[in-house]
């Protein structure tokens, strides 16, 4: 009796599977439409690769750091600086406590390299207001170790515009000043398109950057003229398609939390 029932269940499941296989798959799109110029895909092509599924992270609040999207490389989640090293290659000296890392003992840079196009999220809090201008709450986030997006306490703290928070240092002031007061957690979301170089070292495509400061766009696909030195016009020097992210120690006890990065690849090449 028992065997009979099992045989029956088995037969039914085989029949169901066969039925599912016989049923023609509903096309997702069209193959009889024109080709989209510059691609091999038809308009509404159902065969085009599907974007992969990413689970968004939890948003941050002032009290609590959020989390990274499921496909991000977590650079710092409040626990340790194992993804970072000192700018000189030795261990990072920054102090980690209470879920944040505090600037101490020199720049830090990622052990891994990223590029050419990335999305980076970081959060920082500047110390209680002390000093002014570039001397107050100064740090910086460098892509490829050399292109600085300025981090500064720009809340009621005048300084040269191309040195304010989210300025491309020495090149382009932010569109607006979206700074929060000292000690508040602030967020940067940066899309950095790395430069491309020709064989001979000339620039094939300059770097381009978009920045959101606390959710407000402050750089809108700004084209970089080169690196970001102090008191000089930046210039390009050929480098690889990937590079480290560097965070600056400018002598102020800045705090960082919830840092992650994603490499951006077109859907057709993932
Ligand atoms: Mg700086």
List per-residue pLDDT tens for the chain, 270 residues long. 455 555 555 555 555 555 555 667 888 999 999 999 999 999 999 999 999 999 999 999 999 999 999 999 999 999 999 999 999 999 999 999 999 999 999 999 999 999 999 999 999 999 999 999 999 999 999 999 999 999 999 999 999 999 999 999 999 999 999 999 999 999 999 999 999 999 999 999 999 999 999 999 999 999 999 999 999 999 999 999 999 999 999 999 999 999 999 999 988 876
For residue 123, the CA-to-ligand 1 centroid distance in Å is 15
Give the residue carrying structure tokens 């009979």.
Answer: 4
Report residues near ion ligand 1: CB below 5 Å. 138, 140, 248
For residue 267, the CA-to-ligand 1 centroid distance in Å is 35
For residue 173, the CA-to-ligand 1 centroid distance in Å is 13
5: part of which helix (H) or strand (E)?
A: helix 2-22
| pLDDT tens string 48-90 | 999 999 999 999 999 999 999 999 999 999 999 999 999 999 9
How many helices (H) and strands (E) the chain has is answered by 1, 15
Q: Is the pTM of this model over 0.85?
A: yes
**118: its two tokens:** 């990335």
Whole-number pLDDT of residue 25: 81
For residue 103, the CA-to-ligand 1 centroid distance in Å is 13
| pLDDT tens string 191-203 | 999 999 999 999 9
Q: Please name the residues in contact with 85: beta carbons below 8 A apart, sequence gap of 6 or more.
A: 91, 92, 108, 109, 110, 111
For residue 147, the CA-to-ligand 1 centroid distance in Å is 11
- Nearest in space to 109 (alpha carbons), one of 124, 95, 90: 90
Whole-number pLDDT of residue 21: 58
For residue 230, the CA-to-ligand 1 centroid distance in Å is 10
For residue 164, the CA-to-ligand 1 centroid distance in Å is 9
Q: Please name the residues in contact with 150: beta carbons below 8 A apart, sequence gap of 6 or more.
A: 138, 140, 163, 164, 165, 166, 167, 168, 169
Whole-number pLDDT of residue 1: 46
């Amino acid at each position: 009796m028992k065997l009979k029932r099992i045989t029956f269940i088995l037969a039914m499941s085989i029949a169901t599977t066969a039925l599912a296989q016989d049923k023609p798959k509903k096309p997702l799109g069209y193959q009889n439409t024109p080709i989209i110029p510059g691609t091999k895909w038809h308009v509404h092509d159902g065969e085009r690769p599907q974007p992969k599924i990413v689970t968004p992270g939890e948003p941050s609040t002032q009290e609590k750091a959020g989390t990274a999207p499921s496909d991000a490389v977590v650079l710092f989640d409040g626990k340790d600086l194992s993804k970072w090293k000192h700018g000189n290659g030795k261990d990072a000296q920054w102090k980690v406590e209470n879920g944040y890392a505090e600037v101490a003992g020199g720049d830090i840079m990622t052990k891994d390299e990223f590029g050419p196009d990335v999305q980076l999220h970081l959060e920082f809090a500047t110390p209680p207001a002390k000093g002014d201008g570039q001397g107050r709450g100064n740090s910086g986030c460098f892509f490829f170790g050399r292109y600085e997006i300025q981090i500064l306490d720009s809340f009621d703290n005048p300084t040269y515009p191309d040195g304010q928070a989210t300025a491309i240092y020495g090149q382009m002031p932010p569109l607006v000043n979206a700074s929060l007061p000292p000690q508040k957690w602030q967020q940067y979301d940066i899309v950095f398109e790395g430069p491309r170089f020709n064989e001979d070292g000339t620039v094939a495509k300059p770097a381009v950057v978009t920045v959101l400061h606390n959710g407000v766009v402050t750089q809108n696909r700004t084209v970089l003229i080169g690196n970001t030195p102090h008191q000089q016009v930046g210039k390009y020097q050929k480098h690889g398609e990937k590079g480290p992210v560097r965070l600056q120690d400018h002598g102020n006890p800045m705090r960082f939390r919830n840092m992650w990065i994603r490499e951006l690849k077109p859907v057709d090449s993932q």
